Amino acid sequence: MGDTLASAGTGLFQTHINWEDIEQCIQDERKIEVHFGPKKKAYQIGSGNGFLSRVGVIDADFQGETNGLPQKFILKVLSFLESIEYGELVAERENMDLEEMFAGMDEQARILHNREVDVYRAFSRFDNSLTKLPLYYFGQEFVGENKLKGFIAMEFVEDVEIRHFFHNVKPEELSEVRYKICSNERGAALATSFSRRVKSGSTSGR
């Protein structure tokens, strides 16, 4: 079996992504002529905090036009390498072939990655103080013959606290979340109401 998202590569963080892939993506999406400099560095972070990605920090040492692109950013690469160890235990217990077990996940993972890129791009048009999402810089989807190289570049935030979905939270910690949800619901309700009034002609004269 050839290379898959579950196989180690020769690129960054043992994935199939190399510096040239990232550079080409920047030039294509951001329409700028920029290149990595001789002092570029990459190091992996977040090991053990996810199952479907390898995450690293890129110190770019950019040369040329950056147009607001920072010298340091996060690169999230779709990869099953973080879940291989767990997969080996399951495969042994269930008497399954490890490569076959992960091969069935490839296409669904690619679809999820492409949707994630779409979401970040869509919300990048809004003030991130409202969305609370890290800034999106560029991303590469799985399209056509590309089956191995999907990634997202986003804002590097220092001193963050990792909270998994299985962690308990106190009610007061959800106050801001509840406020944002209520604000979004109210905005959606007002927009729907206004749209109905426009269609019915009841806004005329106001």
Give the pLDDT band (50/70/90) at residue 126.
Answer: confident
| SS3 label, residue 153 | strand
- Give the model confidence (pLDDT) of 27-62 as tens digits: 999 999 999 999 999 999 987 777 789 999 999 999
Whether the pLDDT of residue 205 is over 60: the answer is no
Bridge partner residues of 43 (DSSP): 57
- Please give the distance of CA 113 from its chain centroid, rounded to a whole number: 7
**Residue 182 half-sphere exposure, CB side, CA atoms within 13 Å?**
6
Q: What is the reported pLDDT for 127?
A: 85
Helix H, strand E, coil C: the string for 79-110 is CCHHHHHHHHHHHHHHCCCHHHHHHCCHHHHH
pLDDT per residue as tens digits for the range 58-77: 999 999 989 999 999 999 99
